[in-house]
Every structure is written in C-alpha cells, then in structure tokens.
Amino acid sequence: MRIFIAGAGEVGTHLAKMFCNANHDVILMDEEEEKLKQVDSHFDLMTIVGTISSIEDLKEANVKSCDLFIAVPPYQDMSILSCILAKQLGAKTTIARVNNHEYLDEENKLFFKRLGIDELIYPEKLGAKEVKASLKQVGTRQLFEFTGSKLVMVALKVRDNAPIVDRTLADISSGNETQAYNIVAINRDGETIIPRGKESLQHNDLIYVITTKSAVKQVMLDAGKKQFEIKNVMILGGSRIGKKVAQGLESKYNIKLIEIDKEKAIRLADQLSNTLVINGDGRNLELLKDEGIKKMDAFVAVTGNSEVNILACQLAKKMGVRKTVAEVENIDYIDLAENIGIGTLINKKLLAASHIFRYTLRANVSHVKCLIATDAEVLELVAQPSSKITRGPLSELSLPKDVNVGGIIRGESAIIATGATQIEPNDKVVLFAMPSGIAKVEKMFS
C-alpha cells in the first residue's frame, strides 16, 4: 500500500516507522528538513520537504497515487485542510488528526465526510478512554474490550505469589475444567514471546490474556491479583486527557485534579462540575500529602512531560497508592516505566496507530490494538467464506509461529480457542500477531 503521511512530528514519525516495518510504500512530508533527515537515515521511505496545505507541493509529491493519506501536523486546521486538498487531488482514503471533540459527533463526522475526510482521530480522547478502562479492572496493566465486550484482553504482571507462576501453559489449561482464558503472549525482559504449551510462566512476566468478561475474575485469581474498590482518584495535569478523564469519572469517583498553571486551573474549575481542582505543583511532596495522597486509591499522571509523570507515579506508589497510570509519550521510556512498576502506561502515538492501522490491512478487520511494551498487535478479524482459516481445526492449519489465536465471537457467543476449535465463516477471531505475522494472517483470512 502507498501511504502518504503529512507531518513529521512524533505521531507522524512513529506511523512512518511502523508502516515501513510492515513493508508499505511510505511518503513523509514536512516543512522542516531536519526532522525528515532523522527519519530518512533509519528507514526505507521517501521524504519530501514541502507544505502539506500547498496544492502545488501535494501535486508534485504525486498525492493522487496514494491509497491512504494521513494528516498529523501539530494544528488541526492544517490537518483538515490538507486532507480536503488530498482528497480533491485523488487520494483514495484520508485521515485527519483533530483536537476538538465536537468534530467526532456523528452528524459532524458526516459533514467532514462530505468535505472529503474519511476518518477523524482524536488521540487525547483515545488516551482518556484508555485511562478509564484501566480503572475499571484494578490489577491489570491494560484492558481492551472487543465486539460487544464478549471477549476482553487483559495485560497482567505475574509475581512469584501467583498460583500460575512456574507452571506451563499446558498445565494451567488442564487445571481448568473449562477453557477460561488463553495466554497469547508474554513480555519477558523486553522480549516478546508467542508461547506454546510447554512454555512456563516466570516471576515478572507481563502476560497478555484473552478471556471472556465473566472469566476475568478467574484470571485475576490465577495471577494472584487482589481486588479492591476505587473511590478516590487524584489526577496530575489538566491536559486534554486529564480534563476528559475527570469529566468521565467525576460522577463515579471522588476526583482531585492538580494543575500547575493558575489560569488553566481556574478554567477547569468552571468546566468540571464535581471535581476539586487544585492549583499547585504535583511534584511537591508536601502538597500531595496535604491533599491526601495517602487516601487515594488511584493516581493518574497526564502532564505533558513523561519524566514528571513517571516520577510522580513512583512517588504515589511510595505513599501507598495501589493503582497508578502514567502518560509516557517518549517511547524510549516505556521499558523503564514498565520495569519500575508503573501500573498502566498511556501513549497517544500507539493509540493513534491502533486506530489507523486497520486501514492498511486487506483482511476484514474490526479492531486493532497496538500494545505498549511490545511491538505486537491484537486484532479482531472476520473470517471470510472459503478462507484458509476456516478449512479445519486450528491444530491442523499450520498457523505461523508469530501468531496466536485467543478466542472467537460467533453470533452472541464467545469461545476461547483451543487446538480443536474450528473457525467458521463470519466468525470474529481475536488473535495476537507480531509484525512479521501480519501479512500471513491477512492471507489466511482473505
């Protein structure tokens, strides 16, 4: 696929790297030559110095030949304009990054569709949704729900107190009367493992599990996770994510939001009806103590600074907060944050990538989730009639080693996959795949 990325900021650069690794034909345009040089020296792509809102520059870049045009500059007005121009010049599908939640209303999305913009992404809204999901199920690093919440993916850290530690996957499976869940991937010391039955779990493994909503409790018990109720939440940072999280949670929990900028804090206090907004520096331990950090059940750090967020969460953990969430936009810091025990990590680049990635797949894809702390993706694909994936039980299909099927949604039923499971046409199949396995998966489902 020929993919045109307008804007070589953090999101655009990350998308370019990801699509290059997936062997797509990538064009990256930006006004700043220095930004392009940094990407060009490491990846096989075409870089073009130009203005993404210039008709002449887009024409010269042959935008009419691109299958997918993604506009991710810093300013949404530029993003919207460049997508409109690209569509008029012949781009097949256009995606614009925006930062105004009103644009995502259904009637407004139709308006933008008529203008030539096929999809709008709002990474901050995706980030807020991720934070709220992480607080729904304490003890998890990530939680993602598939169609109708019939299947869910949870990411958990296994400690040496877990009943399943030092046991093989085959042993864990045989110990359950019914197949309640599938461990589809393990992140161990920064390396992703696609496990088979003989693989045993070790202390500090980060495991990715596909299960049903009703069986999450069993997963948590087997992983040695103690449940507790969240009542009090402290949010550090009145960013767009911080504001949306507060708006989404203030009817359920007691929320305190700390914002260092006085004017922004005043605006937030007016906009949030049931959140206590405090003007202060969240890095100040005395301030946190005065505001009752020790009584908090969860601490969410979503300032614009990854280092501040990581350090603040570490401080909150030392003060006894059991659930911490940090926005970590610097990908180089993700392994560090994971290893020092930050509960849930949020990264807008990966969230945007998840939203966009399905447009690059030929197979019928319902959901894609790009995972933090691993290069892999969890996908929900629809099996087509007569596709290879429907031609026999999973154990007989010679699935690629870098792919693991977790479960199936068939009508109103959810099925946890085993070797004897046979996929039927129109089943929605949830699987875990490394980048090297994506193309193989597409062929099996097409």
Strand order in the sheet with 181-188: 142-145, 151-157, 206-212, 181-188, 191-193
Q: Give the phi and the psi of residue 398 in degrees, each rounded to 5.
A: 50, 55
The pLDDT tens digits of the residues spanning 44-53 come to 999 999 999 9
For residue 4, give the nearest of 69, 79, 49 by alpha carbon.
Answer: 69
Question: What pLDDT score was predicted for residue 117?
Answer: 96
Which pLDDT band, with edges at 50, 70 and 90, does 65 fall under? very high
Position 442 scores a pLDDT of: 86
Rounded average pLDDT over 144-163: 90
Counting residues of the chain whose pLDDT is more than 70, the rounded percentage is: 99
- Other CB atoms closer than 10 Å to residue 257's CB: what's the count? 26
pLDDT of 141 reads 86
Q: What is the pLDDT of residue 355?
A: 83
Mean pLDDT computed over 17-39: 90
**pLDDT, greater one: 446 or 209:** 209
Candidates 287, 283, 333; CA nearest to 313 is: 283
- How many Cβ atoms from other residues are within 10 Å of residue 285's Cβ? 12
Q: How far apart are CA 51 and CA 103, in angstroms?
A: 24
Residues 218 and 181 sit within 8 Å (Cβ to Cβ): yes
pLDDT digits (tens, 9 = 90+) for 227-285: 888 999 999 999 999 999 999 999 999 999 999 999 999 999 999 999 999 999 988 88
CB atoms inside a 10 Å sphere around CB 281: 12
Exposed, middle or buried: residue 32 (CB in 10 Å: 0-12, 13-18, 19+)?
exposed
Residue 175: per-residue pLDDT? 67
Q: What is the pLDDT of residue 57?
A: 97
Asked if residue 130 lies in contact with residue 153, where contact means CB atoms within 8 angstroms, the answer is no
Q: DSSP per residue over 289-347, as a string? A: HHTTGGG-SEEEE-SS-HHHHHHHHHHHHHTT-SEEEEE---GGGHHHHHHTT-SEEE-
> Mean of the per-residue pLDDT values for the chain?
91
For residue 189, is pLDDT > 70? yes
Nearest 5°: phi and psi at 77?
A: -60, -40
Q: What share of the chain is helix, strand, coil (3-state, %, to 5)?
A: 40, 25, 35
Question: Which sign, positive or negative, has the C-alpha torsion 186, 189, 191, 193?
Answer: negative
Structural domains present in the chain: 2-121 (3.40.50.720), 141-222 (3.30.70.1450), 229-321 (3.40.50.720), 357-445 (3.30.70.1450)
pLDDT at 177 over 70: no
Which parts of 175-329 fold into alpha helices (H)?
Answer: 216-222, 240-249, 262-271, 285-290, 306-318
Tens-digit pLDDT profile for residues 108-144: 989 999 999 999 999 899 999 989 988 887 888 888 8
Answer yes or no: are the C-beta atoms of 153 and 210 closer than 8 Å.
yes
**What would the two tokens of residue 346 be?**
């949020």
Residue 327 clears pLDDT 80, i.e. is over it: yes
Q: What is the DSSP string of 67-81?
A: SEEEE--SSHHHHHH
Contact 130, 346 (CB under 8 A): yes
How far does Cα 146 stand from its chain's mean position? 13
Between 179 and 203, the more confident residue is 203
Amino acid occupying residue 375: D
Each as own residue / partner, the long-range contacts of residues 171-178 (CB below 8 Å, 24 or more positions apart, any chain) are 172/201, 172/222, 173/197, 173/418, 176/218
Helices (H) and strands (E) in the chain — how many of each?
A: 15, 22
